[in-house]
Each structure stands twice: as C-alpha cells, then as structure tokens.
Structure 1
C-alpha cells in the first residue's frame, strides 16, 4: 500500500472537516493504523498530520491597534491593507497603489455579510483570505508612495486608454463583476502558451514556466495560478528523476502547506484533478470521458450547475481563451485591433452563458452522491465495464430530478438582509413555494442570493410564489425571479394549497388601506407543527387575529415587520405563545430592527429567538412529529411536540 497516499487522504479529511476536536480523533486513529502497518516513522506521520490540524485552527484576532497599513491588493470596491499581521478590507479609498503606506480615518468593524447555507458568503471568503475586519474610510492620507515593480505595472494598466483594459484588470487583478473563467483560475492559459513556445525554441517547458511565473509574481499581486505554476515548475526542475505521481503529490501538498484554504479554491481543484487524470495511461477517447467525469461534480459542487454542453467543449474553450489572451497582448501593441477583440469578447461571453435547459443539471450534490460518483469514475478508469457507465447515468438522472427526491420537507428563512424570502419544499415529489421575493435598490438580491439558493437546492421551477404585500423588500425581486426560473402561480390573496400542505390566510379581508396592514398572514400546520408567517402585519391585524382565533397556538412564528415595534405586541405573543420566533432583518439596518421593545416582549414570553442578521439562513426540516433546525452559522436543534 502507498502510505503517502493514505496520509494525503487523511489530510484531506482534516481540511474538509475543519473541526479541531474531531480532527484529533482522526489523527489518533491514523497514527495507530500507520504505526501498526509500518512499525516505524510514527513521529513523521504525527508531525505531518498535527501540522495540518494546527494550520486549520482559526482564532479570530483582536481588532488592529492602529490605522497605518500597507496596501497589498486593490479591488474594484475596496483595498486590502496589511497591518498587525492581518488583513483589513478598507472601503472608500481611491488612487492608491500596491505597497503604498496609508493612514485611515475610520472605525474597524467585524466583516459581516449575508449568509445562506451552500452559497457564497463574502464573510466566509474574507476569513479564508485572512481578513476579519473592515473599515469605511472617512478620510485617508498616503504617507509613502510605492515605486515597486508591482506598483509600476498596476499604474500602467490602471491608466491604460485601451478597450482591452477591463480584460487585463480581470485576468491579472481579479477586478471583475462576473465569474472568473476556469482557464485563468488554473493558469492553463500560461501553461499552454509556454508549452507552444517551448516547442518552437526547443527549451525545457518547465524552465520557461518557472521563469514566467516568477516574473509574474514579481510584477503582479499574488494569484493562485502564478504560485501554482511556480511551485510545480520548481519541483520538475529540482527533481527531474522523480516519478510523476510523487511530483503531483508534492506539488499539491506544497500548495496546501502554504495555504490550507486553497482546498476550497476552484483553481486548485481543477489543476490537481486534471493533473491526476494525466497520470493514467488511457486513450484519447477515454481521457475525454474521464475529464468529463471529473468536471461534472466539480461544476456541481462549486457552481451548483453543470452545463453539459460547455463541459463537452471544455478543452476547446480552454484553447480559445489562450488564443484570446495572446490576442489581447497583441492588442496592447497594436491598438487598432483592440476593437475586434472587444467584439470577440462580447460574443464569447454570450456563448459561455448559452445553455440548453434539458442539458443542464442543478443542485449541490450530497456527500454520498460524490463518493459513489468518485468510486464509479475510478472503476471506469480501471475496468471500463458497461455497468459502471450505467451507474453514472443513474446518478445523473437522480441529480437532474433532485428537486423531487428530498426525503424530508423544509422551511427555509433565507438571509436576504433587510427583507423577507421564505422557501418551502414538500418531501418526495412534493411542491415548492416561496413566500415573498425581497428586492433591494442597490443590490440584485435575486441574482446574488435568491436564485443561487434555489439553484443549490436543484429547484428547476416554483409551483407557487405568495406575495404578502407590495413593499419592495417583500416583492421587489419578483419580476427578476420570473426571468430566471419558471413560476406556475403568483398568489397575493386567499388560501394556498400545495400537494400536502395548506396555508390559510388569517387576514384575507383587510379593511385598512395601509399596505403593511394588508399583508397576508399565512397559517399552516406542517406535520403537526403550527407555523405563522405574518409579513409586515401590525397591531390592528394582531388584534383581529386574537379576536377571531383566540385559541391559536404557534410553534414557529415569523416575527412581523423584521422586528419592528409596529407589531409583535406582548398581548399577541401571550395569545399565540410561540416556541421559536424568527426575525428576518439586515445587519446595521437603518431602521434599527429589531426594536428593543420587541426583543423584550419575546424574552418575557421565553420564546427561542433566531435572527437572520446573526445566524444567517434558518432551516427547519420536517418529518413526522419532529422538526430539526439548522442555521448557516452551524447551530443545530430539535423541536418535538409538546
């Protein structure tokens, strides 16, 4: 047995788990097994595994003590400063360059962002990058201007008067609004270009890769693909006689040693996966199939979407992007051709976004699905038997219809900031429903939050969307959502019937002309537990409900109007006696929600309160007689019937 491979797999478990306590158990079991098998090198295995575990223990640092920092990266909306051995994101700073020393006038705050399970969270991304605090600069002073090579190169591109400027700012500085292409994340464009040049001038391609990547690291900010190519080329040059398998292991280990969070980096996963494929001695047709088998789960895991059409043409797209990179460099030297490049880039962007719906698979695959897929992929590589191919097809069909194969139902209170969006899904071939579709005047909540959440769940269509009332933070995203996903029915009044669940509107005949008081107030008994979704209904609606439904008892209450004191009175809470209360409000919102009066009322009632601004998305999974809940901040609980 290859024990290096075993240690490699164990290290992967430690990184994925990211729980120091359970990682200690994994380490002890691994040391015991390796000691039993090898009878030696126990200290060697111990050191390797404990180092990986130690590197993953993240301790939130204290706030920086001063406000003088070095600029280490420049983004579109903020700059990254380095001080007190940690990174800080600073907003409202302009006309600064790499390695400038600046002094900021402002206040440090912890980085907070919208958090929903299995979707992008800027807060999580920042922590993986080593940044825990941010600052809005009221004023700043440049204490020392940098004259480094990196600053000079950035200054050249920043002042460039050429249509190809956005292209280079995207490739070299990650200043972008769209998703970075896999070509540039993995560094394939540089490798392929150097490989082609190496054949022409008959030089070792790894020597050229090493020189180019080192020059790139000097001239540009640290990017994964430059570091990856540099380390890989260095290993090939330093150990030319080493077996290719060991070179790949060493390269992958070295990258994780430098930054364990690279495991979550798409460029790392793509690079290591494709390098691993190259170790197998297979025919071109088989290699194409294996590449397809590797890319499908990667797309599903990172993007929750696998466009089979684009994956089929993955190699051609990589070649095209490399040619575009060369063409862009030529456009710098010959400006007249930059106009042609702009048109080609626009065509390429429209082509990359093209997809055929029935050839597109959605949803975050489960761990079991990924394990079975990996096993079948290895079997196809090793044996190429028909039954393994049939297994792959069955897995694809399962993932394609994942929306209808959930064994438990779910009520999810999305974290959309200052607004409401609630997702409800019935189990096993049941229906799906949204209550409200939040909008925002400065953010595209549908594109950035709501649609990615639905895509991660594999939702291809919505059966019902209920709009409680027409305030923008409840209905502003409806039109955009209708452009992104089929919606069979939009409901603004009356009762709602799904396959199993029924929602009764307790405010079906509002008399008030005030929009909030016309909110739908939906009651549902979900597998023995009573839910009440109140929209923005205020005290008058609550009094009406207390009069007409004075024996109504609620298990899970969606607190009205984001915790405003216009609703959720002490009398109403005493009547419905909620066991769990959900508040959907944004961090640092201008309304001061939730109000102290409402928090005090909830505390007096001894209800368990959960707020999306603190816990992120809130998930309630329902099965008979039991409700399980989970938050985006990884808190768990069980609610049983009284």
Structure 2
C-alpha cells in the first residue's frame, strides 16, 4: 500500500505538470489502466479518479480582473514589490522604501510584458507560476498607510543588513556573490542544525512539535518561500505518518494543491526526485547524477566545484547566517562574503537536446549500460552542435530592433543580420550573448549591419568585444563567405535616406528562399520587382512592418508563406502598421511578430520547413519534394 501511495502521488504530479485538460484526461486514463492491472484494488482507482478531478479543477483557466486601487505589500524584491488587493496579486514598481503591509494606491495597471527568447529565462512565465499576470506603478506620493506589525518592525531593523536581506528575505543586491544566489535561502539548513541540537535535550516527538512551531513563526516573520513550503509540508507529514512513503506522498499532493504552478519548477522537482532516489541501492551516485542533470536542464550550466562541495558550503553558510543575527555578527559574515566571492565558479554551459534526454532515459531503464551512457553524456555536449542536420534561422526578440542569427547545418557557419541596441538595456550583454551561448555559437562568420540606425547596428562594437567575428559587412557590395547561396540585392542603387541604404539579403537552403529587407522602403521594393524575378518563402518585412514598406503590390507579387516582423511592444512608432498586417492576412501570409510570439525559430531539413516560437507555438510551415 505504501508503494501504491507513491504511484498515486507521482501520477498526480504528472497530471499537474501537463497543465492541460486534454493531456490530463489522456494520461489519467492510461494511469487508471496501469493501477488496475498492477494493484487490482478498487479503492485506489476511486482515489485516482478523485485526483484526476482535482487536477482538472486546479488547472482550470482563471480570469483575473485587476483594477487600480489600494494594494498592501506582502513581499519585497530588489526592484519591485508584490502587493495584494483582496485575492488579486500584482507586481508594483516605483516604491522607493517599501515595508511589509504598507498600503499604496496603484493608479495604473497593465499586463506583464517582457522579452521572450527560447531557452532563456522569462520573467512573465516566472510570475505566472504565482498566478501574477499584471503589474502596476506607484510612488511615495501615493502612500496610504503603514503597518506596525512585528514583521514590518523586524524588516525596518534589518533592511540595511545585506546578509539578512539576501538570506532570509531573498532580496539580492548587485554585489551579492553569485554563489549565494545558487545556494538558495539557507533556512532549511538552519532548521536541520536546530533539529540535531534540540534532539540532544528533548525527545524526538517534542522536538518535532517545537520545530513546527518555529517554522510557522519563521514563515510569519519572514517568508513562506516555495522551497520552505515544500520542506515544511514534508516535515509536518513526517511527524504524522510513521511510514516515510505516506509522508512523501501526502506532501507532494498538498504542495501541488497550494502551488500548482510549480509542478515543473526546480525547487520542487529536484528535492522530490532526490528523496525518491533514497529507495535505490546506489543512491549517493544517483543523487550526484540527478543534481548534475537537473542543473543542465534548468540552468543550462554545470559548475563542477560547486557540485562537489555544495553540501559543505551550504552547511557553513547556514552557520554564518545564524551568526549574523547577533549584534557583532555582520562584520564576520561580510568576511565570509568576501571569501566566497573568490570561490572558483568554472561554468560548463550546455543546453540539452533530444539526444541528451534519450540517453538519460537509457540510463534509467538499462542499469547494465550505465557506465557507457555516462561516457556518452560526457562526450555529447562537445559534439552535439556538429551533429545537427537542420538549417536554422532565429529572429531574436530584442524589443524594438532587429537581430537575426542564421546557422548552417553541423555548425558549418554562423551569420548574424543586424545587432540592434536599446536605450533601456544592453541587448548584447543581456540577450544576444546568452542566446549565442545556449546555441553553442563561439564565433560569427559574418555580421551584416544593414544600415546605421541604432536599433540595427548599435550593438556591433560590443558584440565584437565579446566574440570573434570573421567578417563585418556594412557595404551592399559585400556578401558573407558561406557555402550556400547568399546574395545582396540591388548593390548599386541611389538611396534617398538612411533606411533606403539598407542591405537587402536574399539566401536559400533546402529549397526554401528567404528575403531580409532591413528598413528598405516601397521605392526599393519597386526596384526589386523591376530587376528580379524573386521566389520567396520567408519574408522579413521591411521597417518593422511600417506602412512605409511592404506595399500590397510587393506582397502580392512575392506571396511568401511566412512574414516575420521584429518589433517591440507598445513602441511609440506605432509599428507594425495595421494596414500592412491586414494585407498579409488577405494574401494568406502567416505573420509572426516578436512582440506577440517572442523569438521566432525557423528550421528546415530536406524540403520540410518548420517554425517554433518562444510562446510554444510549433508546426510545419511548408513541405516540398526535393529532386535528387
């Protein structure tokens, strides 16, 4: 029966991870048949039917109504706060000196809009796990009232203590060592220390009751973080159930009922899998393996020194945080921060692909071949880029600007068209370089800068400092040195303004043709129609979809299958033009915009062209027969 409880809880976990009613129904039926054949107990089947109904209810779409009004602060971060009005929670920007339970009037609310790129952290998705989809703006002038609670008084006392701020409140400053953020809140380590100490003086049962009271007190005075909730629930059920399988099962189901959005989050997945491995014979080796795999899947990097020393460093760090609560402890903890900042963090960066997951599954299901699978997993990151047979085109979401990366199969070449910069952030440092690292692009064969506008070539100098670039192209007479057909159209032309000086790139692969227009206007489009007989499958619309480009005549003659628009949300230029988008729809052109879909990824192989977006759209765009 205890094993059956684990099967039920893990099955419920799988349903919640899908977060889709159709998938819940399909998986629910399959698991129902498994339970029937495996255990032959009607009681288990009825419990499972109840869990299916519960998961459908928890995963139902919830319509939020968010309005301006008075909100009180319940969580504080570095650059924003989380505030609540009745049952509605939002992010609030603009409050300079916040405190817990302070009330502010929020005059303007809007949906959270952030850039989305494949494999990159998405702030809007992160907040959606907490069912927060809106943000608001307030200021000190819109202050309504303050709280005199014990929680707010403690925060006022310790708001200048950086060690307490980062380790008990999760408010990380820019100077906080990166290793501290990776260790997470050390509260769990502190409670393990207290548990060992207390059990030396009182019985185990009394120690459990005392620790549960202390945990509730900590959560009230500081934070009930996701990891702390998971830890508290497991500790609570361990004190109730004698069998650890029942305790683990109950904690999984209860956690997912309270925080369903975190079913696939690292702070829940890794500790639970880690604990499930305690049922295996070689649990120490398996735990190290799972920790390494989890870091690669969730963070796309592996730090060997931290992986080997994680438990020791976290234990020491927990003692340091306890010591920092004393009046003279902060200076000592600052010395610890200075030392830990120098801890070697040699990052191994790798984004797992399909073959990686296949090897992980083989590791689990074929115990006799685990050594060979481990060797293959170690070699795979170094050879994976050179095993990729697809031709890739990535339109990177950088907001109001242009940046496209073109990768030839087997990493034979990497060409970038434009490298736009922003006045609000460093696009190269924060977006483009991380994307290139994830794609394991270590150098560019060519960087084509279509023209001299800041949103097209503003990041070129910074990119040149960050990685080798064999060829920087600023002239229409020059083309990248690649093996597939790549042309600069209308190299000799008179330009009336900067936009019309844009390099127009035309390239083809796997039988598909691509046309990148830069910011070229209708005059250039007319010249293209007069001089060339173009066949185009994918068109990057000129000037971010503006009505100065993409004339109806031009679109009608080219008739591309896909039209791409690189544009920022709520830009003050009004891009793209509703008339241009309407014309595309009339002509049957499928439009993808970075402001709506985030990064747009096109990839082809032997006459099949597919599309994938950062908002999880994926499908086949076009197929054609390639003659041998």
TM-score, normalised by the number of residues in structure 1? 0.87
Whole-Å separation in 1 of the counterparts to 2:421 and 2:441: 20
Deviations 1:297-316 (A, max 9, x none): 11111111123343233333
Q: Please report how far the alpha carbon of residue 130 of structure 1 lies from its aligned counterpart in structure 2 after TM superposition.
A: 1.0
Matches within 5 A, 1:189-208: 189-195=189-195, 197-198=197-198, 204=204, 206=208
Is residue 211 of structure 2 the alignment partner of residue 217 of structure 1? no
Q: Tell me which residue corresponds to 1:593.
A: 575
Q: Tell me which residue corresponds to 2:114.
A: 113
CA contact (8 A) 1:27 1:50 kept: no
Matches within 5 A, 1:218-297: 218-239=220-241, 241-242=242-243, 244-280=244-280, 282=282, 287=284, 289-297=285-293
Matches within 5 A, 1:55-94: 55-61=58-64, 63-65=65-67, 67-94=69-96
Q: Tell me which residue corresponds to 1:351.
A: 343
Matches within 5 A, 1:113-192: 113-137=114-138, 141-158=142-159, 160=160, 165-176=161-172, 181-185=181-185, 187-192=187-192
3-state SS of paired residue (2:343): helix
Is residue 307 of structure 2 the alignment partner of residue 314 of structure 1? no
3-state SS of paired residue (2:74): strand
Of 40, 52, 55, the residue aligned with 2:55 is 52
Flag structure 1 segments of 5+ consecutive residues without an equivalent. none
Q: Please report how far the alpha carbon of residue 375 of structure 1 lies from its aligned counterpart in structure 2 after TM superposition.
A: 4.6
Flag structure 2 segments of 5+ consecutive residues without an equivalent. none
Is residue 474 of structure 2 the alignment partner of residue 492 of structure 1? yes
Q: Tell me which residue corresponds to 1:396.
A: 378
Residues 347 and 405 of structure 1, relative CA distance in 2, 3 Å threshold: farther
Q: Tell me which residue corresponds to 2:388.
A: 406
Of the structure 1 ranges 73-82 and 39-48, higher mean CA displacement relative to structure 2 is found in: 73-82
- The two structures, once aligned, show a CA RMSD in angstroms of 3.0
Whole-Å separation in 2 of the counterparts to 1:3 and 1:406: 42
Deviations 1:128-163 (A, max 9, x none): 1111222233786444322222222222223x3xxx
Q: Tell me which residue corresponds to 1:517.
A: 500
3-state SS of paired residue (2:224): coil
Matches within 5 A, 1:552-567: 552-567=534-549
Q: Tell me which residue corresponds to 1:369.
A: 356
Whole-Å separation in 1 of the counterparts to 2:335 and 2:500: 52
Residues 265 and 191 of structure 1, relative CA distance in 2, 3 Å threshold: farther
CA contact (8 A) 1:495 1:502 kept: no
Deviations 1:82-122 (A, max 9, x none): 2252212222234342223333222x322222122332111
Deviations 1:499-535 (A, max 9, x none): 4x33211143465484433322110112111101122
Whole-Å separation in 2 of the counterparts to 1:268 and 1:496: 47
Residues 326 and 631 of structure 1, relative CA distance in 2, 3 Å threshold: same
Q: Please report how far the alpha carbon of residue 185 of structure 1 lies from its aligned counterpart in structure 2 after TM superposition.
A: 4.8
Deviations 1:581-626 (A, max 9, x none): 1111111112211133433443454422221111222121212222
Is residue 358 of structure 2 the alignment partner of residue 334 of structure 1? no
Q: Please report how far the alpha carbon of residue 554 of structure 1 lies from its aligned counterpart in structure 2 after TM superposition.
A: 1.5
Q: Tell me which residue corresponds to 1:304.
A: 300
Residues 503 and 189 of structure 1, relative CA distance in 2, 3 Å threshold: farther
Q: Please report how far the alpha carbon of residue 377 of structure 1 lies from its aligned counterpart in structure 2 after TM superposition.
A: 5.1
TM-score, normalised by the number of residues in structure 2? 0.88
Whole-Å separation in 2 of the counterparts to 1:97 and 1:592: 39
3-state SS of paired residue (2:71): strand
Residues 521 and 401 of structure 1, relative CA distance in 2, 3 Å threshold: same
Size of the aligned set, in residue pairs, is: 613
Whole-Å separation in 2 of the counterparts to 1:156 and 1:40: 57
Q: Tell me which residue corresponds to 2:566.
A: 584
3-state SS of paired residue (2:602): strand
3-state SS of paired residue (2:104): strand
Deviations 1:538-563 (A, max 9, x none): 334334323322x1121111111212
Whole-Å separation in 2 of the counterparts to 1:392 and 1:347: 34
3-state SS of paired residue (2:491): coil
Whole-Å separation in 2 of the counterparts to 1:522 and 1:421: 13
Q: Please report how far the alpha carbon of residue 197 of structure 1 lies from its aligned counterpart in structure 2 after TM superposition.
A: 3.5
Q: Tell me which residue corresponds to 2:514.
A: 531
3-state SS of paired residue (2:621): strand
Whole-Å separation in 2 of the counterparts to 1:487 and 1:319: 45
Residues 347 and 492 of structure 1, relative CA distance in 2, 3 Å threshold: farther
CA contact (8 A) 2:594 2:600 kept: yes
